[in-house]
Structure 1
Amino acid sequence: MRNLIAGVTVVTTAAGRKATGMTATSVSSLSASPPSLLVCANQSGSFAALIKEGRPFCVNVLSSSHVELAKTFGSADANKNFDGPEWLRDHDDVPYLVEAKVRFHCKAFQIFPVATHLIVAGTVEEVEFAASSLKALAYSDGRFTTVA
């Protein structure tokens, strides 16, 4: 699995002002009609605890300038603070990254437990794009890289 190259995202959710997020490389399109995607999350994490309640979530696709952010949200011990100017909240109070390459605002419609993870199927409610010149951040073989 280590050799699979994958795009890097930070997926966020919230219950009121309590917000959490995680770095995820297991994000995939599911359907174009209706637009939907899949997110895989470790069941022991704080994201899984909130998403099990059917909370809305946001998939923030990271660019090459977001390596440190990916590392922060990839650590279970990290302080995941959404108070800085790089974060805003959508109409569901879910934090989103202002400078994300792309943002998918979603509503969970099905959650499947599989082994140690949850597979979350979400309907895409809104898509927001950043400047197209940003290079996407990818991860493979234990290293971050970029994709044009």
Structure 2
Amino acid sequence: MDATAWRNTMGKFATGVTIITTLDEEGQPAGMTANAFTSLSLNPPMVLICVDDRSETLAKLLASKKYCVNVLSDSQMELSRRFASKGGPEKFEDVVYFIGQSGVPVLEGCLASVECTVKEVVRGGDHLIFIAEGTGIHETEGVTEPLLFYRGKYEKLNIIGA
């Protein structure tokens, strides 16, 4: 199957945009933009993320076994772009965050954040699937609109009838 056609077809499924954050072995923050995130289970509360084999953050996630899924609001497009680029702790320069109860960075101002502890890692093609249990949740009061990704572009939610 043609890879470009596959990517274009999969791009027709609108997704939310997240930044996955963790700490490396030296305690430095690390993170990446991801849209391969979903809720998996209510009891126990579980989510999963999919991380490309080529991601600079992959080894840090494997070592930490903890991460935070920060669900971005429609005002955080530039932050998403920053975390989609290559780089290390400098991605966090001027970014407001706190260390959550599970010991991972939680970004301020996000629509929601979910702290997670990894329970299982499974290979899926050229990605690793991190299955994790939610250990903490955060919401930002007054932030209500998600940042979306559709057909290779950032989009904002357009509520029908609004």
TM score, norm. by length of structure 2: 0.83
Counterpart residue number, 1:136: 146
Counterpart residue number, 1:34: 44
After superposition, where does 1:1-148 map in structure 2 within 5 Å?
1-15=10-24, 16-77=26-87, 80-84=90-94, 86-147=96-157
Counterpart residue number, 2:3: none
The structure that has the greater radius of gyration is 2
| SS in structure 1 of the partner of residue 144 of structure 2 | coil
Task: Kindly provide the amino acid, as one letter, of the partner of residue 10 in structure 1.
Answer: I
Distance 2:72 2:105 in 1: 14
Call closer, same or farther: CA 1:78–1:99 in 2, change over 3 Å: same
Query: Quick check: 1:43–1:49 contact (8 Å CA) kept in 2?
Result: no
| SS in structure 1 of the partner of residue 54 of structure 2 | coil
Which string of whole-angstrom CA distances, capped at 9 and with x for unpartnered residues, describes residues 12-43 of structure 1?
A: 11134222111111100100000000100112
Distance 1:31 1:98 in 2: 25
Distance 2:90 2:37 in 1: 20
1:81 Cα deviation (Å)? 3.0
1:123 Cα deviation (Å)? 0.2
Query: Quick check: 2:30–2:88 contact (8 Å CA) kept in 1?
Result: no
| SS in structure 2 of the partner of residue 45 of structure 1 | coil
Distance 1:94 1:119 in 2: 19
Distance 2:133 2:35 in 1: 18
TM score, norm. by length of structure 1: 0.90
Query: Quick check: 2:66–2:118 contact (8 Å CA) kept in 1?
Result: yes
More helix by share: 2
RMSD: 1.8
Distance 1:50 1:93 in 2: 14
| SS in structure 2 of the partner of residue 81 of structure 1 | helix
Query: Quick check: 2:119–2:133 contact (8 Å CA) kept in 1?
Result: yes
1:86 Cα deviation (Å)? 1.5
